[in-house]
Structure 1
Amino acid sequence: MKTLEIAVFNIESALLAQSAGADRIELCENPFDGGTTPSYGTLKSISEKIQIPVFPIIRPRGGDFLYSDDEFEVMKQDLIMIKSLGFKGAVIGLLNADGHIDTIRTKELVDLAADMEITFHRAFDRCIDPLQSLEDVIATGCKRILTSGQKPNVNDALPLITQLIKKADNRIIILPGSGVRAQKLSILFEETGASECHSSARMEATTKMQFIVESMNENLTSTLVDENEVIAMKKITQSFKN
């Protein structure tokens, strides 16, 4: 059957994703920054409570994917920490200023990860030439590329996803993500031939606070995984055979 990866932004969502049938978790924090490296406390707790594979993201900040030397040093130290906690994989993405893949530093992280499985994330969707970048990422030793096909919603980029999968020719896994929901998941698999899919199955959870200072005018909602959506997507992945 197909593989279902769920992106989560807190430990409660990780537990929900696991109980709903996710095959793998991408672990991030700060959803409104597009996902950044989780705290040590989150990493440690999840390494102890989650049994399915968890791939933490290595991203020191939001914004672009052009990193300074100091930021790259932070990424290396975070990867070493994640490896020491026993995680089987991690998620990275680095670009040069001209829009090409930063192959030198990507390969350095892949080599540092050793036997960990490395996914190159949606920095790929900001590259200048996706077909050439596919070859560049393969050359670094990454095992997977998470991509929306250079569109905000992957359902609008199925031709490019299909082209990438064909060109990859089983040398690397193309992981379609962004806007993936149960409603169109079968179409994504049927049209592209993808073996995996990625979704945050995101919902907004309201605060459980009983007392709120109204004059602060704050948004106290938080991001949570929609367990029912994960269950629905899992049923669809189980209906397919790779």
Structure 2
Amino acid sequence: MKVEICVGTLEAARIVSKLPIDRIETCIALEQGGLTPSKAMVSWIQNTFDLEQHALIRVRAGGFVYNYDEIVVMRDQILELKDAGIKGLIVGALTKDFKLNLEALETWKRTAPNVDFTFHRAFDSIDDWKTAMDQLIKMGFKRILTSGSDQSVAHGIKRLKELVTYANGRIEIMAGGGVKEELIPELKATGIHAIHFSGTSKVTVESETAFQETLLLPDENKLTTILVAIQG
């Protein structure tokens, strides 16, 4: 089973580069669910560490129903990042009735035909997930990141098993969203192909200044604990 860690800062990339993992998802603004990283950030990680890097493409927070302009900007973000040497891209787009936005997805896929594409947790908002999975397979997506059609993997265990069974080796199923040490045995039992987590904790920075923020920063203890459970 593969291990993917979500990396939202340069320091997080430095920390996880020393850990026994398979790949990273690079983004920024984890506090908003993750947004597209800059080309400079992606290139620095690619040139500094021996990591298989995938990058999130998400132009803004607040759901996955995008207008035309946003779809074009995300296409251009893909164009920028695909030449940085990354292995894959993570995308997702829905229609107003919570089906796949096939036009957007096909546009993005054509923009970078030689990289792996992962469909992210927008998948968990889709009711007809079997049709959606078949459509993603037809488009050539490599994997689906999902919490099992629920808010977290803790509540989506049953659906994760169903997803793996229905996929039947045609597409990888990667579990993510609220991954904790105590959930690892149950997640392994579903037959999933990979686990995705960030291993972060909330940290207040610039305390008592005009720039005070609460950020999700890497927690080495959390990261290590979850990895030990996965390897056990």
TM-score (norm 1): 0.89
Pick the aligned partner of 1:230 from 219, 223, 228: 223
CA contact (8 A) 2:202 2:214 kept: yes
- Larger deviation: 114-123 or 125-134? 125-134
1:18, distance to aligned residue in structure 2 (A): 2.0
User: Does residue 158 in structure 1 map to residue 157 in structure 2?
Assistant: yes
Q: Following TM superposition, where does structure 1 have runs of at least 4 consecutive aligned residues deviating by more than 6 angstroms?
A: none
User: Does residue 48 in structure 1 map to residue 41 in structure 2?
Assistant: no
* Mapping 1:167-206, distance limit 5 Å: 167-190=166-189, 192-206=190-204
- Residue 15 of structure 1 aligns with which residue? 14
1:91, distance to aligned residue in structure 2 (A): 0.3
1:205, distance to aligned residue in structure 2 (A): 3.2
Q: What one-letter code is carried by the residue in structure 2 that aligns with 1:235?
A: V
CA contact (8 A) 1:20 1:227 kept: no
Q: What one-letter code is carried by the residue in structure 1 that aligns with 2:47?
A: E
For the residue of structure 1 that corresponds to 2:192, the secondary structure is: coil
Deviation sequence 1:126-178 (CA, Å, 0-9, x none): 11312221112112211000011121111111111100110001100011110
Deviation sequence 1:72-100 (CA, Å, 0-9, x none): 11111111111111101010001111111
Which ranges in structure 2 are unaligned for 5 or more consecutive residues? Answer: none
Which ranges in structure 1 are unaligned for 5 or more consecutive residues? Answer: none
User: Does residue 70 in structure 1 map to residue 63 in structure 2?
Assistant: no
- Residue 145 of structure 1 aligns with which residue? 144
CA contact (8 A) 1:103 1:140 kept: no
RCO higher in 1 or 2 (8 Å CA, sep ≥ 6)? 1
Cα distance between partner residues in 1 of 2:226 and 2:2: 10
User: Does residue 3 in structure 1 map to residue 35 in structure 2?
Assistant: no
Deviation sequence 1:96-130 (CA, Å, 0-9, x none): 11111112221221222111001000111111312
Count of residues in Structure 1 that have an aligned counterpart in Structure 2: 232
1:213, distance to aligned residue in structure 2 (A): 4.7
CA contact (8 A) 2:57 2:91 kept: yes
